[in-house]
Amino acid sequence: MLNKILIANRGEIACRVAATARRLGIATVAVYSDADAQAKHVQACDESVRLGPAPAKESYLCGDKIIAAALATGAQAIHPGYGFLSENAGFAQACADAGLVFIGPPASAIDAMGSKSAAKALMEKAAVPLVPGYHGERQESDFLRAEADRIGYPVLLKASAGGGGKGMRVVERSEDFEAALASCKREAISSFGDDRVLVEKYLTRPRHIEIQVFADTHGNCVYLFERDCSVQRRHQKVLEEAPAPGMTPERRAAMGEAAVAAARAVGYVGAGTVEFIANQDGSFYFMEMNTRLQVEHPVTEMITGQDLVEWQLRVASGEALPLTQEKLRIHGHAIEARIYAENPEKGFLPSIGTLARMCTASAVEFRLHETGATQPAAVRIDSGVREGDAISPFYDPMIAKLIVWGVDREAALRNMSRALAQYQVVGLATNIGFLQRLVAGAAFSQADLDTGLIERHHDTLFPTPVPATTDTLALASAALLQEEAQAARAADPWSSANGWRLNGKLLRTLEFTGQSGPVQVQLEYAGDGSGWRLFANGKAHDVRVASIDGSALRLSLDGRMLQADVVREGELLHVFDGRTQCSLLYADPMAHAGHSEAEGGRLTAPMPGKIVAILAEKGGRVDKGAPLLIMEAMKMEHTIAAPADGTVEDMLYAVGDQVAEGAQLLEFKAA
């Protein structure tokens, strides 16, 4: 067994690898950028080495620095995690040349499967079904457009060296092809250093099903069943589960054997995933092979009871696979939800900020009994951040992976709903509310799955905002008044905020703003100080605070007990009631006296990023919705469009400029 490894990654996957290494008695070395000097993964390892500045190309993508760090610290092997250099054949070969074990497949296998085009050609020779498309080397725009016209629209453009949903565009019409190709190539070169693309027929209502494979250096290769990763947004996975709903034993065996054949064809070693696109009728086509550990590997661990990182370390040490195919079994059902710092209501734009508060569901250690029976209600949380950490613009905005297990899919769904409801994140936008609606929605709960599920059920998943409930308003008001009362206790009785006055009761108005707009409530304090009357949503209610402990608040509303955590963030009050979260902006008229409306005619950056393309000219007239410029942030492109018909009076930045969140990008005059 190896005795010391360097983990060439960051975030939750670096913490995940470090945890298994520690359990096996293997020493670990972390690497970090300047942005990650105090990161969780650095503290999870025994040693750490600085790589360089925050941008990945100056730190986590510097293979020579990583190899030098491994040699300097006496590490025997390098675990690449996923992303960054994990599927870089040159890096794998450089590790071998330096006498280091690369905990992954040989460079030849990465090279064979690293190019989607080459991999599809290899699979074609092996008679694995392929989606109609062009996977060759010619990259001229006119030629690729002609191929797309031949295949028939819609088509999917995919970065040949890509992954993670980056460098992918669906093209519906021939006239849209050139613009989509240019955008796809820009994103591909930024993310992978390679702008080659392939063109495929875009299937309607397909499912994304992948097979986990594992091979050793002794000629053994097995598949650890399948994962359904159909629920995606912008070609990136949101929910993953295992086993795939509706999978028959015959189809599972056929897909598993095809995946093993693909791995054997390239002399594969270690963990890998063969991804298939499947039609609703059960037919399936090879899509690509990821030559690394997948983000969603925990669901496979949950249903098999195996630690895949341990398997990686044992195989890298020269050992045979721990189990043969006939000894692998499926136990129960697992679902993984990716919790991101992002705003689903704004096109899933990443959110930047500090995790001022992060409370989670209680994780339960998952173990598989020797008898094969599994422990119920398992909850697992893989995270690379802690409360107080910042989500920066330099890397993927993942906060955590929430993984649950149940004896069947229905039990797993219940556990996921419960665990999501217990999450409390303050300081930035998250997708937790969206995930709750997604899990509870009819499509996912009834396993009516395909890669277009989110778009197909957009209206349900993005409902029209509704006014805050009376319960929420009562909780927010009570928390606000209790905070004021605590602040006043050190002052004299005449400045007390409890509502007591010589001449009787006091009526006070509070104004909040929720997702549906402003709402006012009136409070009338009881003369005896026992509570107050709340006038909200056209009715009067009796309110009394039962207890308050930090953010935990219990109160009686018309004799009915309410309980919630109410967290103050500046002027925002976040109410977590154990089912949902509601955020209300408290409007203090004194604090905002004299403020005027924001200046019109401005288009601002929704987040920090870089200008990669300017699509409008100074002085040019544009129609509402016309693309004006393109920003790149976190390796994804975001188009800034005209809010109305009008004229672009001035462009304030040039291509290549970095801009801050909220920066005015251009001057625009509406018609």
| Active site positions, annotated | 292
First to last CA, the chain: 71
Q: Residue 643 in contact with residue 626, Cβ under 8 Å?
A: no
- Residue 273 pairs in a beta bridge with 212, 290
Give the 3-state secondary structure of residue 481.
helix
Output DSSP code: residue 634: T
User: Is 197 within 8 Å of 181 (Cβ atoms)?
Assistant: yes
- What DSSP element (H or E) covers 210? strand 207-215
Classify residue 171 by burial, with Cβ atoms within 10 Å: 0-12, 13-18, 19+.
buried
Length of the chain measured in residues: 671
Question: What single DSSP character describes residue 266?
Answer: T
Strand-strand pairing, 4-7 and 27-33: parallel
CA angle, residues 642, 647, 652, in degrees to nearest 5: 75
User: Tokens representing 29?
Assistant: 């070395």
**Cα(539)–Cα(512) distance, rounded to whole angstroms?**
17
Strand-pair partners of 670: 646
CB atoms within 10 A of CB 298: 24
Is residue 666 classed as helix, strand or coil in its secondary structure?
strand
Q: Pick from 29, 37, 36: which is nearest to 79 by CA? A: 29
DSSP letter string, 96-164: HHTT-EESSS-HHHHHHHHSHHHHHHHHHHTT--B-SEE-SS---HHHHHHHHHHH-SSEEEEETT--T
The span from the CA of 584 to the CA of 193, in Å, is 44
C-alpha distance from residue 14 to each of 29, 48, 339, 489 (Å): 10, 12, 17, 48
Q: How far apart are CA 70 and CA 65, in angstroms?
A: 9
**608 closest CA partner among 35, 159, 99, 95:** 35
Going by C-beta distance under 8 Å and a sequence separation of 6 or more, which residues neighbour residue 602?
Answer: 664, 667, 668
The helix/strand/coil state of 470 is helix
Backbone angles phi, psi at 247, to 5 degrees: -70, 125
3-state SS string for 495-551: HCCCCCECCECCEEEEEEEECCEEEEEEEEECCCCCCEEEEECCEEEEEEEEEEECC
Residue 434's SS3 state is helix
> What is the number of H-type helices and E-type strands within the chain?
17, 39
**Tokens in use for 550?**
């930090």
Continuous segment of H or E residues that includes residue 555:
strand 552-557
